[in-house]
């Protein structure tokens, strides 16, 4: 095990002890255990661990359930498979990992499941050992603490099935989502390293996109160029890539990505890499012909001015979104800024100005709580004029520091002249260079 991964494992142990401490503070009279559920495999996708399970354990195996009593060490419940799983897929953890993660025991969830794959819908027998442990908690009148609301769909399906198998479990559950969201919101140095790398890969992918945007190509050419960079860099998509030209650029989460790039249209490229589970999210809007029309230039400049205005205001004490505090609310101030430029913002700017970023691209965190040092957010104003087939969005990722916000993704320029030069340089492969590290750099 190398040094960085040892540090990462130890940081996860620290996160768990912080969580236990917070639970004991908020629920001083309760006894019981925390339950953390892994994600499940999907036929068409590489396995991607559930975000909260990743945060506290970082084990790349599906269908695990971690059982952490408030007053003793963790047990990891693993599925029993009827055939040797390692013949079919790479197994992702070893005993050294488990020991460093302070996992005291590894136990089978129950009787063997068919095949080597983890099925999201499972029988009572296949989880009977865990059910016995949970039944004991329920009989004692203890609580079972689960980050349920922020959990993935898989987590909620697993818990729903366990509730059917264990009498009294539903009543014993305490949702600790707000506590976990609070911990996940503030990023550590280790997390920042991954967020920086995800940002860097996303910028390289914007460069690749800028290099192929021209009449004669299709949105799909741009998507392919982007996702080539993600794959060769050991990243995956943090969300489905948005490459919307002309009227498609006015559809916020457009992802058909099949249309031809036409003369004098704009193309909105909203993409994000996920590197070692940490996400990025960068949007640029490019003119297909390499120049803006006067009208496009005006709308683009208004969005850019709004972006810079909000970036200047972003600092501890401000809110991403809080209607009760409009003078400190970035969302309200952004909408007001564009309203003052004459736009009907209800209609043409129908989304928030930003969100938290982390293990999820729309990360957990209460936007009504003021920004604080260590938050990672996006700033992403946009204007979408359906009738004119004209959409503009400009988005960057920012790290909140003591007296402001540091942009992690400004390698890709936004100012009009710089953007046009960036397109030219990208076409020639001369925009910026990063050492190629391959997928397994960390």
Give the binding range for Mn ion (CB under 5 A) out of 21-29, 152-160, 191-199, 279-287.
279-287
H or E segment to which residue 405 belongs: strand 404-407
180-239 binders of ligand GLY (CB under 6 A): 239
Minimum Å gap between C-beta 237 and ligand GLY is 11
The count of C-alpha atoms lying within 13 angstroms of the C-alpha of 367, restricted to the half-sphere facing its C-beta, is 19
Q: Which of 69, 130, 76, 129 is nearest to 100 (CA)?
A: 76
Residues near 428 by Cβ (< 8 Å), separated by ≥ 6?
Answer: none
C-beta of 137 vs 281, nearer to ligand GLY: 281
Cβ atoms of 287 and 296 closer than 8 Å: yes
H or E segment to which residue 423 belongs: helix 416-427
Residues near 298 by Cβ (< 8 Å), separated by ≥ 6?
Answer: none
Minimum Å gap between C-beta 307 and ligand GLY is 14
Q: How many residues bind ligand GLY (CB under 6 A)?
A: 3
Q: Which of 230, 277, 222 is nearest to 47 (CA)?
A: 277
- What is the rounded distance in angstroms from the CA atom of residue 112 to the CA atom of residue 119? 12
Residues near 146 by Cβ (< 8 Å), separated by ≥ 6?
Answer: 34, 35, 36, 37, 155, 159, 173, 174, 175, 176
C-beta of 8 vs 270, nearer to ligand GLY: 270
Among ligand GLY, Mn ion, none, partner that 270 touches (CB below 5 to 8 angstroms by kind): ligand GLY
Q: Which of 438, 437, 365 is nearest to 400 (CA)?
A: 365
Phi and psi angles of residue 322, each rounded to the nearest 5 degrees, phi first: -160, 100
Give the binding range for Mn ion (CB under 5 A) out of 8-16, 238-246, 296-304, 374-382.
374-382
C-beta of 76 vs 376, nearer to ligand GLY: 376
Give the binding range for Mn ion (CB under 5 A) out of 168-176, 255-263, 371-379, 407-415.
371-379
User: C-alpha angle with apex 194: 244 to 435, nearest 5 degrees?
Assistant: 80
C-beta of 35 vs 267, nearer to ligand GLY: 267
366-385 binders of ligand GLY (CB under 6 A): none
| 429: region left, alpha or beta (phi > 0 left; psi from -120 to 50 alpha) | left
C-beta of 221 vs 281, nearer to ligand GLY: 281
Instruction: Using CB under 5 A, pick the residue from 49, 223, 322, 378 that binds Mn ion.
Output: 378
Minimum Å gap between C-beta 253 and Mn ion is 10
C-beta of 218 vs 239, nearer to ligand GLY: 239
Among ligand GLY, Mn ion, none, partner that 51 touches (CB below 5 to 8 angstroms by kind): none
- What is the rounded distance in angstroms from the CA atom of residue 300 to the CA atom of residue 181? 35
C-beta of 244 vs 246, nearer to ligand GLY: 244
Give the binding range for Mn ion (CB under 5 A) out of 209-217, 278-286, 297-305, 400-408.
278-286
Stretch 279-298: interaction string toward ligand GLY, x if CB under 6 A = --x-----------------
Give the binding range for Mn ion (CB under 5 A) out of 92-100, 289-297, 339-347, 376-384.
376-384
270 binds ligand GLY (CB under 6 A): yes
C-beta of 47 vs 239, nearer to ligand GLY: 239
- What is the rounded distance in angstroms from the CA atom of residue 112 to the CA atom of residue 40? 17
Minimum Å gap between C-beta 352 and ligand GLY is 9
Chain residues binding Mn ion by CB under 5 A are 281, 378, 380
Chain residues binding ligand GLY by CB under 6 A are 239, 270, 281
């Amino acid at each position: 095990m190398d040094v960085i991964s040892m540090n990462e494992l130890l940081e996860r142990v620290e996160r768990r002890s912080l969580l236990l401490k917070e639970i004991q503070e908020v629920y001083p009279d309760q006894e019981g255990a925390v339950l953390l559920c892994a994600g499940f495999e999907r036929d068409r996708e590489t396995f991607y661990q559930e975000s909260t399970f990743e945060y506290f354990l970082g084990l790349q195996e599906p269908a695990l359930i971690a059982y952490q009593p408030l007053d003793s060490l963790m047990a990891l419940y693993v599925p029993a498979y009827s055939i040797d799983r390692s013949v079919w897929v790479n197994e992702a953890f070893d005993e050294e990992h488990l020991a460093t993660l302070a996992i005291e025991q590894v136990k089978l969830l129950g009787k063997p499941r068919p095949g080597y794959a983890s099925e999201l819908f499972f029988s009572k027998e296949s989880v009977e050992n865990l059910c016995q442990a949970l039944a004991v908690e329920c009989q004692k009148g203890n609580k079972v603490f689960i980050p349920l609301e922020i959990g993935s769909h898989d987590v909620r399906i697993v818990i729903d099935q366990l509730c059917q198998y264990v009498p009294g479990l539903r009543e014993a559950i305490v949702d600790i989502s707000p506590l976990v969201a609070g911990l996940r919101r503030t990023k550590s140095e280790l997390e920042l390293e991954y967020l920086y790398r995800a940002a860097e890969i996303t910028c390289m992918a914007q460069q690749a996109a800028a290099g192929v945007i021209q009449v004669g190509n299709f949105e799909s050419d741009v998507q392919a160029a982007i996702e080539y960079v993600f794959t060769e860099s050991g990243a995956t998509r943090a969300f489905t890539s948005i490459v919307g030209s002309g009227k498609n650029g006015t559809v916020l989460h457009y992802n058909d990505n099949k249309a031809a790039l036409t003369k004098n249209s704009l193309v909105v490229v909203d993409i994000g890499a996920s590197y070692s589970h940490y996400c990025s999210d960068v949007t640029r809007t490019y003119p297909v012909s390499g120049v803006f029309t006067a009208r496009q230039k005006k709308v683009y400049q208004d969005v850019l001015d709004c972006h810079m205005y909000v970036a200047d205001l972003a600092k501890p004490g401000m809110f991403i979104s809080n209607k009760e505090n409009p003078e400190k609310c970035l969302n309200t101030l952004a909408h007001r800024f564009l309203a003052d430029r004459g736009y009907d913002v209800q209609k043409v700017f129908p989304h928030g100005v930003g969100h938290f970023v982390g293990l999820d691209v729309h990360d957990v965190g209460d936007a009504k709580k003021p920004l604080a040092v260590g938050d990672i957010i996006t700033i992403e104003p946009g204007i979408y004029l359906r009738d004119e087939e004209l959409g503009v969005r400009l988005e960057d990722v920012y790290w909140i520091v003591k007296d402001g916000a540091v942009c992690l993704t400004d390698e890709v320029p936004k100012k009009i002249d710089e953007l046009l030069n960036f397109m030219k340089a990208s076409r020639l492969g001369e925009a910026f260079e990063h050492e190629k590290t391959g997928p397994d750099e960390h």
